[in-house]
Amino acid sequence: MHEMSLAEGVVQLIEDAAREQAFGKVTAVWLEIGQLSGVEVEAMKFCFDVVTRDGIADGARLEIIATPGTGWCMQCSRTVPMSEVFGECPDCGSHQMQVTGGTEMRVKELEVA
Ligand SMILES: [Zn+2]
């Protein structure tokens, strides 16, 4: 389950931010997860609960923002929505697609106390 190491990365980021900005507690985390990132939202929630235990974000609410996948269709010469990494163009059905968005996961916002 690679969500565990991703969740650890998120906690690391939160702790770094806490040191820099000198806040003592995180009460909510908004996490953007791209539709094409391969991250399972349910697994992520579970791992987040585990890795935040006894830390600065213990008990913090995790809000998931799903960002849509997008790709560049070489046939249509334009950006189209994509629901899977090796998907096809919803307009022309071509597989000559290049993924352009929705592959990343990042912390968008923290609510601190
Ligand atoms: Zn197309």
Question: Per-residue pLDDT for the chain (113 aa), expressed as one digit of tens each?
Answer: 689 999 999 999 999 999 999 888 999 999 999 999 999 999 999 999 999 999 999 999 999 999 999 999 999 999 999 999 999 999 999 999 999 999 999 999 999 98
Structure tokens at 59: 């008990």
The residues whose Cβ lies within 5 A of ligand 1, an ion, are: 73, 75-76, 89, 91-92, 94
Task: Give the pLDDT of residue 106.
Answer: 95
Contacts of 91 (CB under 8 A, 6+ apart): 73, 76, 80
User: What is the CB neighbour count within 10 angstroms for residue 100?
Assistant: 14
Under 8 Å between Cβ of 14 and 56: yes
CA proximity to 18, closest of 95, 80, 110: 110
Task: Give the pLDDT of residue 1.
Answer: 64
* Cα 37 to ligand 1 centre (Å): 22
Task: Give the pLDDT of residue 113.
Answer: 85
* Cα 47 to ligand 1 centre (Å): 37
